[in-house]
Amino acid sequence: MSIATLMNHYVEAQQLDHLDGIKETGIPGVRFYRAPHSSARQPLLYQSGIIIIGQGRKLIHLGEHSVGYGAGDYLVLGVPLPLECEAFTDGDKPILGLVIDIEPAVLHKLVGLIEQQTTANGCLNTPSRGVHSVALDPAMELSVERLLTAMACPLDSAVLGQHLLEEIIYRVLMGPQGNTLFGLAQQDGHYARIAKALNRVHSDYAAPITIDHLADEANMSVSAFHRAFRQVTLESPLQYLKKVRLVKAKELILLEGKRANDAARLVGYTSPSQFSREFKRHFNRSPSTMRA
């Protein structure tokens, strides 16, 4: 049975016909995604993880780099990335997909086992620049099908879910984008250090964050930190922080009904006028229009 068919069966079984967004599944670390309509290019913040598309397609833009991915493809994001995305349904069929979190403990366990069994050091190269889509190979496709089948049964989810999750992460590690996950596991490598800095940005975005402090926490010089940060995210640290704050402010305005000045303060802006200018430049809409 195809991945698209299994995803549609899951929608029916879980009564998700009206879902427009992401929903947790019975397997911790696995979320199901459904979008009933196409959407124009818009700024979004993609969280780290493995993204698998079963139906529909998307086009993401990261700086000057564009990546298309659709049914039967997956992406690997080692770090959260602010980017722009276009989404396209397949006629009247919604976009369906899975988002799989990568738990550090699971990743380090699998990398340790792989390193014990292989001398294929080519897998341990620094992650390549940008984001790339990968077609599901037969082994990965079977793993995803087993995961979707288990998701439909609470008992299977409880007993088999974590093992199937580890199987998929293993398949990714051994695939064309495995170097991204190996880079995360190398704690002293630049990629892992920048990943930790990004975690700090996402948890403390409302606080006064200085680049000097982030570089010091990463045990890097400011110039080396800037260079490594841009290699991983294609953004400068300040530009990245600004985009995170703006996306968080948008969520506060849309989901919690916050006023622009309150949203600006809650995400770390001290100047409401600067916030309004940068918000409109980023989203092409003013905060008040977005709230309305």
Q: How far apart are CA 153 and CA 30, in angstroms?
A: 14
pLDDT number for residue 119: 59
Query: What pTM value is reported for the model?
Result: 0.85
With H, G, I as helix, E, B as strand and everything else as coil, classify residue 32: strand
User: Which tokens is 132 given?
Assistant: 């790339």
Q: How far apart are CA 238 and CA 232, in angstroms?
A: 14
Query: C-alpha dihedral over 163, 168, 173, 176, to 10 degrees?
Result: 170
Nearest to 161 by CA among 179, 148, 170: 148
Q: How far apart are CA 180 and CA 62, in angstroms?
A: 17
User: Which tokens is 186 given?
Assistant: 């190398």
Residues of the chain under the 50 pLDDT cut: 120-128
Contact between 73 and 97 under an 8 Å Cβ cutoff? The reply is no
Q: Any residues with CB less than 8 A from the CB of 195 and at least 6 apart, and which?
A: 48, 78, 79, 184, 232
